[in-house]
Amino acid sequence: MWAGIDAGKGHHWITVVDGTGGRRWSRKVENDESAILDALGLILPMARTVHWAVDISGTSCALLLALLAAHGQQAVYVPGRTVNRMSGAYRGEAKTDERDAYVIAESARQRRDFTAIDVPAQLAADLAVLVGHRKDLVADRVRMINRLRDTLTGIFPALERAFDYSSQRGALVLLTGYQTPAALRRVGQARLERWLAKRNVRGAEQVAATAVHAARAQHTTLPGQQVAAEIVADLATQLLALDERIGRIDKQVTAAFRTHPQAAIIESMPGIGPILGAELLAAAGDFASYTDDGHLASAAGLVPVPRDSGRRTGNLHRPKRYNRALRRAFYLSAQTSIIRDGPNRDFYLKKRAEGLKHVQAVIALARRRISVLWALLRDNRCFTPHAPATQTA
């Protein structure tokens, strides 16, 4: 039997088909442990082997996948794009959960090359949760900084231009107390410097001088200034608190990452620190699931795919279906590794000399680094800038 699951947050629709494609069981199942266990108790006795397929591998079906694994069952992942294309091969234009579950089951019955979904180990699950939470916090920080700059521009454009609020903590501390030109001129540079120093602002003298200089360039009070100033102060306070939260998460991610048995090897690669290494492990999962370095590079979208037709051959294009998070980790690590002198920068400059643009050269470097990382993991040794000495057997 083949069981297709159209997964959702509140409920799943499970459809079971036999070897001829006939429906044998189809029902909506609530996303609760008892309901899923009842469905498994009805489906598993129907055949000696049941092949499971699901169109979502995220948090909405985590409970379902865990219960399947507890019963010795393994599911495969059928991408939503495949389900959408396969739907056109069947009669009718209706779009229902039951029809989607049937198409998923039929796709799994006709194709045997879908990727199996493994329930992650405890460490991998912890890293995935921490990395996902950190990503959300960083996105919130970017959104809040953009809103702060936009609001501050409406009342005090000179002060908005004076600081980089994404990297200067002192500028955010300043905005918690002073947001308008009149307030800065009233307090003066000397008192403002002492006020900032009491709050442990590094370079308080320079911050105070820059802020007072910006205040002297504007003497006009703009409409809505008082309300906007209160909003700016509130956003600055939230950003400082958010920076502390991100710092605590970074410590948790680093501690969890360094408990991984291959953390030292991954972190020895130039351009990969504990945060990016954790993102790499969360995106790649178990490296043993990849057959070779080419398989890993293909999953990261770093291997071109041919688009040939007739006499038109040799047309290589960027793939469209790949792991975005995995590609991001390899691309960022490659881009960071070219900052300092070494084999990574030498390879990048070589590709630039061959006529490749910056992005093309970084992608080529990322692909080469995957081969190096795969060899290090295979040989269980850390990266060294020079090739190891070989000895005669």
Length of the chain counted residue by residue: 393
In this predicted structure, what is the pLDDT of residue 221? 85
**Would you say the C-alpha torsion 227, 229, 233, 236 has a positive or negative sign?**
positive
Which residue, chain included where needed, has tokens 């059928």?
A: 78
| The amino acid at 39 | A
Q: What is the pLDDT of residue 393?
A: 66
pLDDT at 384: 87
* pLDDT tens, residue order, the chain (393 aa): 999 999 999 999 999 999 998 999 999 999 999 999 999 999 999 999 999 999 988 788 889 988 998 899 989 999 888 888 888 888 888 889 999 999 999 999 999 888 888 766 678 888 889 999 999 999 999 999 999 999 999 999 999 999 999 999 999 999 999 999 999 999 999 999 999 999 999 999 999 999 999 999 998 888 889 999 999 999 999 999 999 999 999 999 999 999 998 999 999 999 999 999 999 998 888 888 888 999 999 999 998 888 888 777 778 888 888 889 999 999 999 999 999 998 999 999 999 999 999 999 999 999 999 999 999 999 999 998 877 677 776
Residue 251, judged by CB atoms within 10 A of its CB (0-12, 13-18, 19+), counts as exposed
- What secondary structure does DSSP assign to 154-208, as a single string? TT-HHHHHH--TTT-HHHHHHHHH--SHHHHHHH-HHHHHHHHHHTT-TTHHHHH
Contacts of 19 (CB under 8 A, 6+ apart): 109
Confidence at residue 287, expressed as pLDDT on a 0 to 100 scale:
85
Tokens of 146: 């953009």
Distance CA 16, CA 44 (A): 10
User: How many other CB atoms are found less than 10 A from the CB of residue 309?
Assistant: 8
